Structure 1
């Protein structure tokens, strides 16, 4: 069985598109980071800005793979499906699938690492956070 899937919806706005009316590809990273913050806020129960500002913990991106399958257009409201492909001690791999109707538009895999923001040294993130992300693990048994 597969683990849970976190879903949210985003909107493609006028400022996100190029003259052809499709999302300008670097903006996809902004969309993905917005979904990352939603996962923290809604699924994990910890505001990402609180981690950064108050706890001085961050999860900078260290590796990305993005496949553009179909364009996203101005006015689209894609459903974002987020799963985890890796939950390490200090690293976190999340997969983001952007779908409009029955079309997959973007399929991205992002790896981040938990760091102390004052030193940028990696360290293991909390077991409570790890447990929440393990719920999203692809191929994990539902418990």
Structure 2
């Protein structure tokens, strides 16, 4: 299963050249992750109180294939590529119609929140939900 979202590119996303300013893609990806967690039943605004955790990005790699412009619709797809003890990898693809716009690989890590940040094991309920978003061929290797 994949998590899908449609993002309409707005004026606020674009630079003076009229294309999406690349840091805005980081915000779009972060919004996608936040929406994914909410669908799984773990909204970011409750994760601190119910799990005592956050999920900061620890590694990010994005390849841009084509620009997006104001008014374009970006179709985003997220799959959970790897689930470790405390960290997990997601793959995000973005398309406009049949054109691949971007491909991102993101590693996030469950951590405590506050002054002393340390890794936490992924809670079992979250892990079960993440497994639903693994590519079909990868579930046998778990």
TM-score (norm 1): 0.90
Superimposed CA distance per residue, residues 16-56 of structure 1 (whole angstroms, 9 cap, x where no aligned partner): 101111100011100000000110011x1121121135543
Cα distance between partner residues in 2 of 1:17 and 1:53: 35
* Matched length: 138
1:1-143 → structure 2 map (5 Å cutoff): 4-42=1-39, 44-52=40-48, 55-118=51-114, 119-138=116-135, 139-141=137-139
Q: Deviation at 1:128?
A: 1.2
Task: List runs of 5+ in structure 1 lacking aligned partners.
Answer: none
Cα distance between partner residues in 2 of 1:71 and 1:78: 11
Q: Deviation at 1:96?
A: 0.8
Secondary structure of the corresponding residue to residue 25 of structure 2: helix
Secondary structure of the corresponding residue to residue 88 of structure 2: strand
Cα RMSD (Å) of the superposition? 1.5
Secondary structure of the corresponding residue to residue 46 of structure 1: coil
Structure with the larger RCO, 1 or 2 (CA within 8 Å, 6+ apart): 1
Cα distance between partner residues in 2 of 1:111 and 1:16: 24
